[in-house]
Chains A and B, each alone.
Chain A
Amino acid sequence: EAGVAQSPRYKIIEKRQSVAFWCNPISGHATLYWYQQILGQGPKLLIQFQNNGVVDDSQLPKDRFSAERLKGVDSTLKIQPAKLEDSAVYLCASSYDRAVLGNSPLHFGNGTRLTVT
């Protein structure tokens, strides 16, 4: 099966600019996640979608971050305006069902490395 696709692979922007990341999950996976991974740390969950509805966005900085999953397939994550501390790898993952129940492993893309200067 094709894996989780993410683009772009790398992005360099200046602070206060905006940026968007795109994710295409594994076909048939109902649940989609965006994680932020700062260098040297573990991934931190930003938002979880079940089909096209938000399940958990409690750790998403909503003053600057937004995400959507139109038609329950592809998803975009946007940052506007970016801050220096947003420099990180943004990972998209998908799972067959709601992994909060612990029944399915997460399948990750290779991420987008964002550098804010």
Chain B
Amino acid sequence: SQQGEEDPQALSIQEGENATMNCSYKTSINNLQWYRQNSGRGLVHLILIRSNEREKHSGRLRVTLDTSKKSSSLLITASRAADTASYFCAQKLVFGQGTRLTINP
């Protein structure tokens, strides 16, 4: 069964807006990872956040982790058309169902 569950399942926004995706998990973690998957391609690693970290940044990406609520969020700021993809959280090699993000020009 999937341990991570993303919310929402699908998100459509205008270019330039910010996109926020959430992930909830069930068991204790060492870390949590976020991946992106473009249509017809493999997954690409974005960010790894460790259990003792609360926030991490990488370019336009910001990931937060709340271990008390067993949840994480991925924020993409100033979205671009190229950000259109599915985004997955993963912990202990188990992936969620993903959020399908569409950026409209």
Contacts and interface: CB of A to CB of B under 8 A. Distances in A.
Nearest to A101: B30
Nearest to B40: A110
Interface in A85-112: 91, 93, 99-102, 105-111
B41 A99 contact: no
A40 B100 CA distance: 9
Interface in A20-50: 33, 35, 40-45, 48
A56 to B, nearest CB: 8
Interface string B9-53: 000000000000000000001110101000011111100101000
A24 B90 CA distance: 23
Interface stretch (B55-63, B73-81, B91-99): B91-99
A59 to B, nearest CB: 10
A4 B95 contact: no
A108 B43 contact: yes
Interface residues of B, number: 25
8 contacts: A42-B98, A43-B43, A45-B93, A93-B42, A102-B29, A102-B91, A106-B43, A108-B42
Contacts of B90: 106
Contacts, number: 56
A42 B95 contact: yes
A99 B45 CA distance: 13
Given A42-B96, A99-B93, A102-B91, 15 more contacts: A35-B95, A41-B98, A42-B2, A45-B94, A100-B93, A101-B30, A102-B29, A102-B48, A102-B92, A106-B33, A106-B43, A107-B45, A108-B44, A110-B40, A111-B42
Name which of A102, A107, A111 has the most chain B CB atoms within 10 A of its CB: A102
